[in-house]
Homo-oligomer: A and B are copies of this chain.
């Protein structure tokens, strides 16, 4: 297996983009990534998307995306793992380059969600859970994460305020992200007084419905060196699954797929959690970020809430999480999120994350999760 580098990234603004369609969004991000990388061709591409079928009535997205990108005839593959679709595109692109099957591969993610009305979008997102045994009985994603939150509060004493602090921290970071959907600060009090969605989660605990796309160009490290690009290496990858139903897990507060995917990536990279300078993780709800930091091994089980409260996850903290603003402030176009995490890491490594820069960052990790944690894809990157 060859060493693989990320040599270019592109992203669209995230938000309610009424004047851009699914294909426009993908093409915009992909062209930006190609331009950023300086390559004059791509040989293969992967498109992460959760549900263009349900959101805009379009499957066969990979062929369409290649066509509209002016890359007709190249192999183009769509992958789906709910909200982890983008991370999965990254992993398969990595595999293709590492294996030697192709040299220059584009990995992208996209979701056009706001063309669906509210109930349709909620139904669409719900298809990441078990349709027959969860959704059918009326639960939605805020409900599933509310169950996790309540269990975490009961078991570990996590407070309502600690949940709010996740959102406050991410909005503080996202306020300096020019592509964020909600680039403004919020307060703990504001979160606690926001509209109740699924007790104990309020609207400001939830990531939004978002349109957006992101893309990255991968190639062998040897080629990246010849191109004179800064070397940002993929040094670890992990992918694991868990029960599709939350109720099938021994402990609903523990994200086993995240734990396993992280373990794989740490082992491959020969790194431990304390070696990682910052993290981009899947904060689809505030409680998710707390559970994720426990599963990644940044804190002991149950200690996520106090770690947030102590400022350990802030940009200047012990282990910065989501300098981009995370899904909460940046927005969460589900299929694009995993690649948007890669975008942030490249921007940080290049010192281009103005206002939200993590100092001297050299090693970083992405964690992208599907459903209530039934899929997780992780990657570790190193700047040479």
Contact = CB atoms under 8 A, between A and B. Distances in A.
A214 to B, nearest CB: 19
A89 to B, nearest CB: 10
B127 A74 contact: no
A267 to B, nearest CB: 14
Given A21-B132, A53-B51, A80 B59 contact: yes
Q: Is the interface of A mostly helix, strand, loop or mixed?
A: mixed
A165 interface: no
Contacts of A99: 1, 95, 98-101
B375 A72 contact: no
A241 interface: yes
A98 to B, nearest CB: 7
A127 B60 contact: yes
Interface in A77-136: 77-82, 88, 92, 95-96, 98-101, 123-124, 127-132, 135
A62 interface: yes
A315 interface: no
Interface stretch (A9-17, A63-71, A148-156, A303-311): A63-71
A78 B92 CA distance: 11
Interface of A: 1, 21, 23, 50-51, 53-54, 56-64, 66-68, 72-82, 88, 92, 95-96, 98-101, 123-124, 127-132, 135, 239-245, 248, 256-257, 260, 370-371, 374-375
